A and B are shown apart, each in its own frame.
Chain A
Amino acid sequence: QSALTQPRSVSGSPGQSVTISCTGTSSDVGDYNYVSWYQQHPGKAPKLMISDVSKRPSGVPDRFSGSKSGNTASLTISGLQAEDEADYYCCSYAGSYTLFGGGTKLTVL
């Protein structure tokens, strides 16, 4: 049960796009289409941004998109806005357990 691998930090200027990767194995990310992404602002609970690899829950801006190729999932945020600055976590269901990534701090320059 090792954590999924995410970059520790990414950054971008307002209006730009950034992509955060999430690498797992053939037992988790590669085996299930239950990859999700969460946004967490300081002192707040995580908020679901993407479910089932690429589905956006109601109310999440379409600037947020998800994808998966093999054992790696990705979250892309286009048209960066100041309020997007937060920590982002990927998550993969793996049958008898669930894994989270270590988190990526997004800085909007």
Chain B
Amino acid sequence: EVQLVESGGGLVQPGGSLRLSCAASGFTFSSYWMNWVRQTPGKGLVWVSRISNDGSSTSYADSVKGRFTISRDNAKNTLYLQMNSLRAEDTAVYYCARRGTTPDYWGQGTLVTVSS
């Protein structure tokens, strides 16, 4: 069974940093591109970032480019999102999702709140 479990969310002050993790199991993690997608409470889904299966290729939404960094450790079956210079508008539930072209399996999400 495919499982994705996010962690690392919490309350952080504006300008602060946070690193999210996504632990994957039930499939060959190193074979899949992975995504981060966020959802502001009560609002829609917004794609954040994507990484290739071997970590050599990454892409970002304009809204996070230069502030967020996606990475992965295939030996640990774990996806990461390093978030720096956080802003109030980054407040959201962050989901990791498998597969590059069509996110198929999603985790349950981790809530990030940026507030003073």
Contact = CB atoms under 8 A, between A and B. Distances in A.
B44 A100 contact: yes
Given A93-B102, A98-B35, A45 B59 contact: no
Contact of A36 (B103, B105, B107): B103
A22 to B, nearest CB: 12
Interface string A71-101: 0000000000000000001010100111111
B109 A45 contact: yes
Contacts of B103: 36, 46, 48, 91, 98
A102 B43 CA distance: 8
B88 interface: no
Nearest to A47: B106
Contacts of A40: 45
Contact of B45 (A1, A89, A97): A89
B45 A57 contact: no
B11 interface: no
Nearest to A48: B104
B29 interface: no
B107 to A, nearest CB: 7
Interface residues on chain B, size class: 20 to 34
A2 B10 CA distance: 28
Contacts of B43: 103
B103 to A, nearest CB: 7
Nearest to B100: A93
Nearest to A35: B102
Interface in B44-78: 44-47, 50, 59, 61-62
A89 B44 contact: yes
Contacts of A52: 102
Interface string A48-67: 10011000010000000000
B101 A96 contact: no
B115 interface: no
Interface of B: 35, 37, 43-47, 50, 59, 61-62, 95, 100-109
